[in-house]
Amino acid sequence: MVCIGFSVYTQAQKTNPKPFAKEITAQGLKEQLYIIAGPEMEGRGTATEGERRAAAYIQSQFEKAGLQPGFNGSYQMPFPVFEDSLLKIHLAVNGKDFVAGKDFSGNIGMLNNASFRFSEVVFAGFGVVNETRDDYKDLDVKGKLVIVLSAAFGRDLPAEVKNKINAFVQQDAAERRGAAALLIVDNKIDPVPAKGNLYVNPYKTVYRINTFTVSENVGNVIAGTTLTGSTPQVLKAKVDMDFVKQPNELTSYNVLGLLEGSDLKDEFVVLTAHYDHMGEKDGKIWFGADDDGSGTVAVIELAKAFAKAKAAGKGPRRSILFMTVSGEERGLWGSAYYGENPVYPLDKTTVNLNIDMIGRIDPDRAKKDSLNYVYIVGDDKLSSDLKPISEGINKKYTKLGLDYKFNEPKDPMRIYYRSDHYNFARHGVPIIFYFSGLHPDYHQPTDTPDKINYALLQKRTLLVFYTAWEMANRDAMLKRDIPLN
């Protein structure tokens, strides 16, 4: 057994990866991206038909490359996503019904199923409570309906007071004093959608009080006169408030393909990118070519290159998991689900190499000689092994400028925490995040495949390939000798 293991190790160390790197071409990446970021994928919104279509396509590419199903005999790892449907939202004052979206509105995600019938309303001015002002002084609002004015009506307020007035502060102040519900008078009433935003956790530690935004007209009907911020008082009015929603469980999917290793097959290298994007909004498709179609097609082409090496008898020592995740745009949901429900042990995962937006040029990089670059994030966070290996691989093979701009602990954009690698890092897995920067088309429908720099996309993908090759074939797993910040 020892001799067999040594011979495999020696062979892997001597294998030249360059012939297999030739599988990763600018043209191949381009062909893949025009499919992944094409109109038929409908922007790949989480838990949509477009996402399912993209997942099926990625699975077909993993199958074609010869990868094994990565999740219990399947290529797709489902995880639950929830969406609320609005069944009823109603407000009446003294028997007069008001129109949702015109006279009043509410945030479906923040509201709870409840019906109230109040015989009086407590007016608490602007609902401000701070070191210099208390609009609730001498008011008993416990179990009652409170009405307050928004900052839009605070023309005479000092700027330092007015600037601190917002719905969350007002809701918190009413809630702390035991109010049962809150009305905020505002001059802007938002439409009330038929469905709420997606979410993944239907359980809450805290339920906030139901809060409606109401028009000035509604406020005046409750008061029987023009409502002003001068005198807190109890108003006699019969108010009906009703809200009913129905939570619906949907399903989103991570796509997993496994290339089994040889003598170290029970250890893992994980290559990730998120394939979801923003979907369709206002009749427009958010194509997400760079974000993160570029990373998705890189993972597909990396899978093909490594599978070709294995077919030639030059496969990796460690197993490689190629995983495209969904729900990243909503809050890193797919990778968080994998992190909490890992298919392969995280303590046996030597590294996660995550690719998110590597197809464009950051407009901040103005010098022509600086365009041959990639941002490297997280390589110094958990393992002292990782950065020297990454830099050595780049120096030997790709010679990109490795820019650590977003690796600074005080990075104001907090890029380190904003992509799927973080859900590996927080479980102790060393990571590198590859990124080329934001641009004016970021999170816009104009992020399209024709704007990708395919030569740079290829070169950045090759850096991931050579780094993954080293990680999959080196003798020892990476040390984990730096605490997570």
pLDDT at 89: 98
Q: What is d(CA 27, CA 42) in angstroms, rounded to the nearest whole number?
A: 23
Q: Could you give the 3-state DSSP secondary structure of residue 124?
A: coil
For the chain, percent of residues with pLDDT exceeding 70: 96
Residue 71 lies inside a defined structural domain of this protein: no
Contacts of 311 (CB under 8 A, 6+ apart): 66
pLDDT at 391: 98
Contacts of 466 (CB under 8 A, 6+ apart): 17, 21, 393, 394, 396, 397, 398
Question: In terms of domains, do 271 and 177 share one?
Answer: no
- Dihedral of CA atoms 435, 437, 440, 445 in degrees, nearest 10, equals 10
pTM metric for this prediction:
0.92
Q: What is d(CA 277, CA 216) in angstroms, rounded to the nearest whole number?
A: 39
To which H or E segment does residue 280 belong? strand 280-281
pLDDT at 130: 85
Statement: residue 312 has pLDDT above 70? yes
Residue 72 lies inside a defined structural domain of this protein: no
Question: In terms of domains, do 28 and 116 share one?
Answer: no
Mean pLDDT value across residues 57-74: 98
Question: In terms of domains, do 266 and 178 share one?
Answer: no
Helices (H) and strands (E) in the chain, counts: 13, 17
Q: What CATH number does residue 335 fall under?
A: 3.40.630.10
- The mean of the pLDDT values for the chain is 95
| Mean pLDDT lowest among 50-64, 265-279, 288-302, 354-368 | 354-368
Question: In terms of domains, do 280 and 231 share one?
Answer: no
Tokens read off for 16: 């030249």
Statement: residue 204 has pLDDT above 60? yes
| Residue 49 main-chain phi, psi, to 5 deg | -65, -35
Check if the beta carbon of residue 393 is closer than 8 Å to that of residue 465. no
Residue 202 lies inside a defined structural domain of this protein: yes
Q: What is d(CA 213, CA 353) in angstroms, rounded to the nearest whole number?
A: 46
Residue 102 lies inside a defined structural domain of this protein: yes
Tokens read off for 10: 């020696």
Structural domain range at position 378: 2-36+260-473
Position 10 confidence tier, pLDDT thresholds 50, 70, 90: very low
Question: In terms of domains, do 265 and 235 share one?
Answer: no
Q: Give the model confidence (pLDDT) of 316-325 as tens digits.
A: 999 999 999 9
Contacts of 249 (CB under 8 A, 6+ apart): 80, 81, 82
Statement: residue 201 has pLDDT above 50? yes
| Mean pLDDT lowest among 85-94, 300-309, 409-418 | 409-418
Statement: residue 164 has pLDDT above 60? yes
pLDDT at 409: 86
pLDDT at 157: 87
Statement: residue 7 has pLDDT above 70? no
Question: In terms of domains, do 397 and 358 share one?
Answer: yes
Question: In terms of domains, do 302 and 442 share one?
Answer: yes
Question: In terms of domains, do 266 and 363 share one?
Answer: yes
Query: Identity (one letter) of the amino acid at 407?
Result: N
Position 368 confidence tier, pLDDT thresholds 50, 70, 90: low
Residue 58 lies inside a defined structural domain of this protein: no
Tokens read off for 458: 């290829």
Q: Give the model confidence (pLDDT) of 110-129 as tens digits.
A: 999 999 999 999 999 999 89
Mean pLDDT value across residues 230-235: 89
More confident residue, 39 or 15: 39
Statement: residue 9 has pLDDT above 50? no
Question: In terms of domains, do 309 and 161 share one?
Answer: no
Measured CA distances, 388 to 16, 330, 384, 416, 432 (Å): 20, 34, 8, 19, 12
Position 231 confidence tier, pLDDT thresholds 50, 70, 90: confident
Q: Which residues, in sequence order, are bridge partners of residue 351?
A: 269
Last residue of a domain, one of 199, 222, 248: 248
What letter does residue 236 receive in the DSSP assignment?
Answer: E
pLDDT at 160: 85
Q: Give the model confidence (pLDDT) of 74-88 as tens digits.
A: 999 999 999 999 999
Question: In terms of domains, do 242 and 283 share one?
Answer: no
Mean pLDDT value across residues 168-172: 96
H helices within 279-321, ranges in order? 295-311
To which H or E segment does residue 119 belong? strand 114-123
Would you call the peptide bond into 292 cis, given omega within 30 degrees of 0 as the criterion?
A: yes
